[in-house]
A = this chain, B = another copy of it.
Amino acid sequence: MSVQERKQRERADRERLIVATARELAERQGWDAVTTRRLAERIEYSQPVLYSHFRGKREIIGAVALEGAAEMAAALRAATSTADGPHARVTALARAYLDFAARNPAVYDAMFELDGGLAFADEDTPEPLKDAFAALLESLGEVAGDGVHPGLFTEVFWAALHGLATLTRAGRLPPEYTERRTELLVDRLAML
């Protein structure tokens, strides 16, 4: 019985190794460099082993995305928890979001730019994704304003942050004014 358990544990370890390696490789050299062959070589197994853990490359991206969502939720909550008052909280939230996207571009891509085969805005959306949205909602709900649905407001604010994050990273927006854009966004969108 304990032999089976050990095997299960080793399997779980290897799965974590795959995800961590994919993430590291993507962060270092971009997702294009994450090929099944290279990934297999790094974990020192053959290609088919990957497919005994995941249906395909897409699912590996999805796994990285889920890991990232959990981390992002934690980062957002950490940032807002030390801020006093709604306005400061939202500012801290926006900064933390953009900071996460800038520091973990590959993970951010896995979450929002690439197809990781994950469901969104749906009842079978994975828990970490719902929780990341919930982390946004916690701080943004209190500044939605009277008569404005907190969820809807959060969606709009999130979309704005997402736009800033992606356009900046793609070189569409010059990065030096990020802070001023953030301030403008918060000042206008958040009520009081």
A3 on the B face (CB < 8 A): no
**A177, B164: Cβ atoms closer than 8 Å:** no
**C-alpha spacing A153/B121, complex, angstroms:** 29
Whether a CB of chain B sits under 8 angstroms from the CB of A123 is no
- Answer whether residue A87 sits at the interface, using C-beta atoms and an 8 A cutoff: no
For residues 90 through 127 of chain A, which have their beta carbon under 8 Å from a beta carbon of chain B?
112-113, 119-121
Q: Provide the residues of chain B in CB contact with A184, threshold 8 Å.
A: 148, 152-153, 156
Query: In the complex, are the beta carbons of A173 and B188 less than 8 A apart?
Result: no
One digit per residue, 1 when the CB lies within 8 angstroms of any chain B CB and 0 when it does not, for chain A 155-192 equals 11011111110110011111001001100110011000
- For chain A, the count of residues having a C-beta within 8 Å of the partner chain is 31
Which 8 residue pairs are nearest across A and B when measured between Cβ atoms? A163-B163, A159-B163, A160-B160, A162-B163, A159-B164, A120-B172, A188-B189, A156-B181
The docked-state distance in angstroms from the alpha carbon of A138 to that of B170 is: 24
A120–B170 CA distance with the chains assembled, in angstroms: 9
When distances are taken between beta carbons in the complex, the residues of chain B under 8 Å from A167 are 112, 155, 158-159, 162
Knowing A120-B170, A121-B174, A174-B121, the reply to whether A158 touches B163 (Cβ < 8 A) is yes
A113-B112 contact given A160-B156, A171-B121, CB 8 Å threshold: no
Query: Residues of B contacting A156 with CB < 8 Å?
Result: 160, 164, 181, 184-185
Hey, which chain B residues are within 8 Å of A171, CB to CB?
119-121
Which residue from B120, B148, B162, B164 sits with its C-beta under 8 Å from A166? Answer: B162
**Further pairs besides A112-B172, A113-B113, A121-B173: 17, Cβ < 8 Å:** A121-B172, A121-B174, A148-B184, A152-B180, A152-B181, A152-B184, A156-B160, A156-B181, A158-B167, A159-B173, A159-B181, A160-B163, A160-B185, A161-B163, A163-B164, A166-B166, A188-B188
